[in-house]
Amino acid sequence: MVNRSEELKKYLVPGSRVHLIGIGGVSMRPLGLVLQGMGMVVSGSDMNSSVSTDELIEKGISVHIGHAPSNIDGADCIIRTAAAHNDNPEVAEARSRGIPVFERAQAWGVIMQAYKNAVCISGTHGKTTTTSMVTHILMEAHADPTVMIGGYLPLLRAGHRVGKGDTIVLESCEYCDSFLNFFPTLAVILNVEADHLDYFKDLSDVQKSFRQFAMLSTGGILANGDEPHVKQALRGLDYVSFGLKKGNRVTAENICPDWRHMDVICDGAFYCHLDLQVLGRHNALNALAAAATAWMLGVPGEAVAAGLATFSGAERRMQFKGKFNGADVYDDYAHHPDELAATISAVRTMDYKRLIVAFQPHTYTRTKALFSGFVRELKKADLVVLAEIYAARERNTVGISSKDIAAKISDSVYCETLPEVTEYLRKNLREGDVVLTVGAGDIYRAGEALLDNADESI
């Protein structure tokens, strides 16, 4: 992808009119609000109305529901989400009129160049949680950061923040090589796995992208030294390693069995003690990455300990939603086998009688490419309720269904629609159960619908 930051800079100035295609998305919505705060006149469009589009309208941004050529009238430039391709009517119209079209990541790349510290947190999974943890730390340290997270953080009451300090922290996604438009002063790599295989050819291709991302950093690289795929990707590069194994520059000691309490050791010296509210080995690693990031930024260990002690999770990351018929209902964004493994492992430490996973695979290409991994991890639950695949940006050209996963798991049931998922859970949940609604689509609605009628179970 060609980096066009210098060209885009001419348009991201006060008074300029900017139109965002897909403005309701998790990183497009905060981008619209940040650009508005910088003095630009912002408009946008999205296929569906949502809480996000309602918030934008309330804040004075004109939002069109549905895509149409007339929506871009008056725009000086267009910024689009990665899901808006050249056949989008607004993109096609802009190109015919000669209005320049830029990518979302290019806009964030321009914005971050104004900061002394641009912390870009990447990885196949764990980005949202780790970016949220770093935000908690920097807020505790009174750094007044600017933040862009791909989810909702209760501390901010949003997924973004516009600060006046010299640090910006961004969740940095590899899909479509988006993060190659960034200008990090600190590039953080949590893990590297085969994912987004509708864009990348294979794991090696993903590793190549992460290596290019790391090489963009002007101030340092922080990477997971426990992960072979990360080490392969960064072979020959100089980086600070973090991890739970010996030999890393940042590691942990005195770890308790549920992974919530540990000492952080940096270059052999005690840095801080962590008491976490979140469970699981994966969250211990996320916290270690956040602490290592803070250490590299010169943040005192006391602020790290205090900041992480108040972090109880980002939205849709092992988020407790409520109770139904004596069962606890949680929601999680996991949409990769490794994420499923981490979530199921964490819940197994919570001593429930039955673990029920209501899973909605995300995109057809991912489901096909990682099929055996999904089957392997879902078998670890006591009961699996499979919703149909969430299409997102795709059409089912590979001929796959959640039925195919269900056929490989004996203790499973397939539901074609989300109301069917809710109804099945309503009839089958009992005291001592925990149910996880899991996936990057709208599976959370099945759990919320269940809880909306919780009084009927009393």
pLDDT tens figures, 260-277: 999 999 999 999 999 998
Between 359 and 150, the more confident residue is: 359
The pLDDT tens digits for 393-415 are 788 999 999 999 999 999 999 99
The pLDDT tens digits for 61-99 are 999 999 999 999 999 999 999 788 899 999 999 999 999
Q: Please name the residues in contact with 58: beta carbons below 8 A apart, sequence gap of 6 or more.
A: none
- Three-state secondary structure readout of the chain: CCCCHHHHHCCCCCCCEEEEECCCCCCHHHHHHHHHHCCCEEEEEECCCCHHHHHHHHCCCEEEECCCHHHHCCCCEEEECCCCCCCCHHHHHHHHHCCCEEEHHHHHHHHHCCCCEEEEEECCCCHHHHHHHHHHHHHHCCCCCEEEEEEEECCCCEEEECCCCCEEEEECCCHHHHHHHCCCCEEEECCCCCCCCCCCCCHHHHHHHHHHHHHCCCCCEEEECCCHHHHHHCCCCCCEEECCCCCCCEEEECCCCCCCEEEEEECCEEEEEEECCCCCHHHHHHHHHHHHHHHHCCCCHHHHHHHHHCCCCCCCCCEEEEEECCEEEEEECCCCHHHHHHHHHHHHCCCCCEEEEEECCECHHHHHHCHHHHHHHHCCCCEEEEECCECCCCCCCCCCCHHHHHCCCCCEEEECCHHHHHHHHHHHCCCCEEEEEECCCCCHHHHHHHHHCHHHHC
273/105 Cα distance (integer angstroms)? 36
Which range has the top average pLDDT, 115-129, 193-207, 304-318?
Answer: 115-129
313/232 Cα distance (integer angstroms)? 31
Which pLDDT does position 445 carry in this prediction?
A: 93
Which pLDDT does position 312 carry in this prediction?
A: 84
Question: Residue 216's pLDDT band (boundaries 50, 70, 90)?
Answer: very high
pLDDT at 4 > cutoff 90: no
- Which amino acid, residue 3? N
Chain-wide mean pLDDT for the chain?
92
> To the nearest whole percent, how much of the chain has pLDDT over 90?
72
Q: What does the pLDDT average to over 86-113? A: 95
Residues of the chain with CATH 3.40.1190.10: 115-309
Residues of the chain with CATH 3.40.50.720: 5-106
pLDDT at 313 > cutoff 80: no
- 92-121 burial, b at 16+ Cβ within 10 Å, e below that, comes to ebbeeeebbbbbbbbbbbbbbeebebbbbb
Which pLDDT does position 406 carry in this prediction?
A: 95
pLDDT at 339 > cutoff 90: no
334/345 Cα distance (integer angstroms)? 13
pLDDT at 457 > cutoff 50: no
CATH architecture of 319-457: Alpha-Beta Complex (3.90)
Count the neighbouring beta carbons within 10 Å of the beta carbon of residue 328: 18
Phi, psi of 403 (to 5 degrees): -55, -35
pLDDT at 458 > cutoff 50: no
CA-based torsion, 27, 30, 36, 42: positive or negative: positive
Which pLDDT does position 279 carry in this prediction?
A: 83
Question: Residue 2's pLDDT band (boundaries 50, 70, 90)?
Answer: low
Question: Residue 346's pLDDT band (boundaries 50, 70, 90)?
Answer: confident
CATH architecture of 115-309: 3-Layer(aba) Sandwich (3.40)
Q: What does the pLDDT average to over 33-51? A: 91
Question: Residue 152's pLDDT band (boundaries 50, 70, 90)?
Answer: confident
pLDDT at 427 > cutoff 80: yes
Residues of the chain with CATH 3.90.190.20: 319-457
Q: Which CATH superfamily is domain 5-106 in?
A: NAD(P)-binding Rossmann-like Domain (3.40.50.720)
Which pLDDT does position 454 carry in this prediction?
A: 55
